[in-house]
Amino acid sequence: MLTDYHVHLRPDDQDASPGRYFTAANADRYRTVASERGIAELGVAEHIYRFTAALDVWDHDLWRRYGRDDLDAYCEFVREETDLKLGIEADFIPGREDRMANLLEAREWDYVVGSVHFLGEHAVDFDDETDIWRYEMSPERVWTRYFEALAESATCGLFDIISHPDLVKIWGKGRPAPEKDLRYYYEPAVEAMLEGGVAMEVSTAGLRKPVGEIYPAPAYLEMAVDAGIPIALSSDAHITDHLAFGYDKAVELLEQYGVKEIAVFEKRERRMEPLG
């Protein structure tokens, strides 16, 4: 079994309207390409901030700019016009857990992907005026804050899968790295994932970013696997061509660390299926 759950039906572009992308024909294109690439379990996880409902959770400038679409219409479209699993990529916003819970609990997801994209008001993966690196100059501070947020996201009870679990490395050599052994940052995150009973996402999206490496780093994956954390496999595709992107590398990495099963979700219940 191969999965691709953390999939977007459209690019991260404000003008990518539901009318153009949330269509049976577009879902069919995704299904066809995924099948050609051996993906049996395909699901979508649109960014929560693309929906107006998210503005009740947080009113960050970026969310106000992007939050235009109707969340229930998205759910209805996926359930009624496609055979895809229904997921959502929800940000972890500290202090807003109750509001996020209200939004999530009102809909019947197959899985919720939890993401840390922001540290306070500042973004981890946006190279613009919101970029955290313009405000926090020490890599130790950025990495500490990122992994603290990630640990909180794992134990807050909102999410089934912790996505791109070392997104902070996205810029690769474009930002300074902490001098410490990076396992210092990974360890509390792994403990939190274990405590929270969540799956860790192995995401090939990192291969397409400046860092050029799968999320998580090998040493981090090894720690998670040793701790017995279930692994969920995804590409974070935003176009059909990115479905199952780099899966040969991902499967090789997983096998190297002895992973034999991956997580499959339905109505927020997790079960394990043989990898491959």
236 binds Zn ion (CB under 5 A): yes
In whole angstroms, the minimum distance from the beta carbon of 107 to Zn ion comes to 18
Which of these, 225, 226, 145, lies nearest to 185 by C-alpha position? 145
Total number of residues that touch Zn ion (CB under 5 A): 3
Judged by CB, which is closer to Zn ion: 186, or 215?
Answer: 215
153 binds Zn ion (CB under 5 A): no
Beta bridge partners of 44: 86
Judged by CB, which is closer to Zn ion: 48, or 221?
Answer: 48
Judged by CB, which is closer to Zn ion: 145, or 242?
Answer: 242
In whole angstroms, the minimum distance from the beta carbon of 235 to Zn ion comes to 9
144 binds Zn ion (CB under 5 A): no
- Which tokens is 68 given? 């235009």
Cβ proximity of 209 and 172 under 8 Å: yes
Rounded CA separation 262/123 (Å): 30
Site for Zn ion in 60-99 (CB under 5 A): 89
Judged by CB, which is closer to Zn ion: 140, or 148?
Answer: 148
- Which tokens is 189 given? 């995150």
Eight-class DSSP state of 124: S
C-alpha 222: how far from its chain's center?
Answer: 19
Dihedral sign (CA 165, 171, 175, 177) = positive
Judged by CB, which is closer to Zn ion: 89, or 160?
Answer: 89
Residue nearest to Zn ion (CB): 115
Element (H, E) at 256: helix 247-256
Rounded CA separation 30/27 (Å): 5
Judged by CB, which is closer to Zn ion: 138, or 209?
Answer: 209
In whole angstroms, the minimum distance from the beta carbon of 179 to Zn ion comes to 27
Judged by CB, which is closer to Zn ion: 244, or 271?
Answer: 244
- Which tokens is 123 given? 């973004």
Judged by CB, which is closer to Zn ion: 89, or 166?
Answer: 89
Rounded CA separation 246/207 (Å): 7
Which of these, 190, 186, 108, 110, lies nearest to 155 by C-alpha position? 190
| Candidate segments 134-142, 168-176, 235-243, 264-272, binder of Zn ion by CB under 5 A | 235-243
Q: Rounded to the nearest 5°, which phi and psi values hold at 88?
A: -145, 145
In whole angstroms, the minimum distance from the beta carbon of 50 to Zn ion comes to 11
In whole angstroms, the minimum distance from the beta carbon of 22 to Zn ion comes to 16
User: What totals of helices (H) and strands (E) does the chain contain, helices first?
Assistant: 9, 11
234 binds Zn ion (CB under 5 A): no
115 binds Zn ion (CB under 5 A): yes
Rounded CA separation 175/155 (Å): 29
Element (H, E) at 225: helix 218-227
| Candidate segments 169-177, 181-189, 219-227, 234-242, binder of Zn ion by CB under 5 A | 234-242
In whole angstroms, the minimum distance from the beta carbon of 167 to Zn ion comes to 7
In whole angstroms, the minimum distance from the beta carbon of 16 to Zn ion comes to 13
In whole angstroms, the minimum distance from the beta carbon of 164 to Zn ion comes to 6
Rule CB under 5 A: which residues touch Zn ion? 89, 115, 236
